[in-house]
Amino acid sequence: MTRAVDRLTLDNLAQLPGHCPGCLFWEYDPVRRRQVAGHEVEEKAAWVSMMLREWGSVGRVLSIDAAPVAHVLWAPARYLPGGDCFATAPVSTDAILLAGCYVDPAHRGQGLARVLVQSMAKDVITRGGIGAIETFGAHRPGRSECVLPVEFLLAVGFRTHRPHARYPRMRMDLKTTVTWREEFETAAERILGVVKRPVRQTAPQVSSVLEIGTQSSP
């Protein structure tokens, strides 16, 4: 079994599991979503194309034996107006917005979501100039696959930044995450089955980002 993490592109967008290839929950506001009803797949592809031109990579796709089974998507909040509808908006000026993380139900409980979140954090850290990743969590999971459960976000390293009874704003501070870059890479390589080097023993205790149980993975 071969596992790999690749950048989200127009070539693999249509192959994503779940409803993401035609979902515009984050990319458009409610009015715009109604206007493009029936053309969601084309609009999502146009959005990804625009992001690749104007900002760069905004997602990762995890495949098993060349078949995509999970993905994560993010972007600056100005490109994701769907986030403005939450009571705890807006996202902090130093943060980008996590716009979803999905794992095919047949592959949940294997730590794949953790690998994707770590890959996202590494990409954002490498880009520079971004202090955090934020998103809106749901205290009542299951109402929408587009909004991740608070329990999952806490498990992968987010903390409550602005409380709310239903949709708190969650934050992962990259100022501390940057010191864990090697641990991120090692953990991902272990789960992907491609461990390239041993973990150094000089690093401080790994944060809860890596102390993740599999029961909360989406």
Total number of domains constituting the chain:
1
**Conformation bin of residue 128: beta by default, left when phi > 0, alpha when psi is -120 to 50:** left
Tokens standing for residue 142: 């299951």
Q: Greater confidence, 110 or 211?
A: 110
Kindly give the pairing relationship between strand 95-103 and strand 132-136.
parallel
Question: DSSP 3-state assignment of 203?
Answer: coil
Tell me the DSSP string of 141-179.
Answer: TTS-TTS-BHHHHHHTT-EEEE--SS--EEEEEHHHHGG
Model confidence pTM above 0.85: no
Alpha-carbon distance of 65 to 84, in angstroms, equals: 38
HSE toward the beta carbon, residue 164, CA cutoff 13 A: 18
State residue 204's pLDDT score: 42
pLDDT in tens, 18-77: 899 999 999 999 999 999 999 999 999 999 999 999 999 999 999 999 999 999 999 999
Considering just the CA atoms, what is the radius of gyration of the chain in Å?
17
Q: Greater confidence, 88 or 188?
A: 88
State residue 145's pLDDT score: 73
pLDDT in tens, 99-147: 999 999 999 998 999 999 999 999 999 998 999 999 999 997 665 678 9
**Whole domain around residue 89: which residue ranges?**
3-216
Say yes or no to pLDDT of 215 above 50.
Answer: no
Q: How far apart are the first and last CA of the chain?
A: 21
Q: H helices within 5-149, ranges in order?
A: 10-13, 30-35, 40-54, 112-127
Residue whose structure tokens are 């498990």: 155
| CATH assignment at residue 159 | 3.40.630.30
Q: How confident is the model at residue 193 (pLDDT cuts 50, 70, 90)?
A: low
